[in-house]
Amino acid sequence: MQSKVWFAPVENHPSKEDVAQKTLALYRAANMTRIMEAGDLVAIKLHFGEKGNTGYIKPEYLHPLIKALKNDKVKPYLTDANTLYRGERSHSVDHLMQAYAHGFGPEAMGIPVIIADGIRSKNYSEVPIEGKHFDSVKIANDILDSDTLLVLSHPTGHGATGLGAAIKNLGMGSASRSGKQNQHSDVKPKVTKASCRACGICIRRCPVDAISWVDDKARIDQDVCYGCAECIAACRYGAIAVNWEGTSRALQEKMAEYAWGVVKDKTDKVACLSFLIHVTKDCDCVGRAQSSVIEDVGILASFDPVAIDQATVDLLSQAARRDFFLDLWPENNYNAQLSHAERMGMGNRQYELIEIGD
**Residues 290/55, Cβ–Cβ less than 8 Å:** yes
The CATH class that applies to domain 188-241 reads alpha beta
Q: Do domains 3-182+247-355 and 188-241 have the same CATH topology?
A: no
pTM of the full predicted structure?
A: 0.87
The per-residue pLDDT for 340 is 98
Element of type H or E holding 301: strand 298-302
Q: Report the DSSP beta bridge partners of residue 211.
A: 220
Whether residue 185 has pLDDT greater than 90: no
The per-residue pLDDT for 134 is 96
The side-by-side arrangement of strands in the sheet containing 298-302 is: 113-115, 75-80, 41-45, 148-153, 270-276, 298-302, 3-9, 351-355
pLDDT tens digits for 2-28? 999 999 999 999 999 999 999 999 999
pLDDT tens digits for 70-97? 999 999 999 999 988 777 888 999 999 9
**Second-level CATH architecture of 3-182+247-355:** 3-Layer(aba) Sandwich (3.40)
pLDDT tens digits for 266-281? 989 999 999 999 999 9
Each domain of the chain, given as residue ranges in start order, spans: 3-182+247-355, 188-241
The per-residue pLDDT for 207 is 78
Average pLDDT value for the chain: 93
Q: What confidence tier does 297 reach under pLDDT thresholds 50, 70, 90?
A: very high
The per-residue pLDDT for 186 is 58
Rounded distance between C-alpha atoms, residue 150 and residue 80, angstroms: 12
Whether residue 242 has pLDDT greater than 60: no
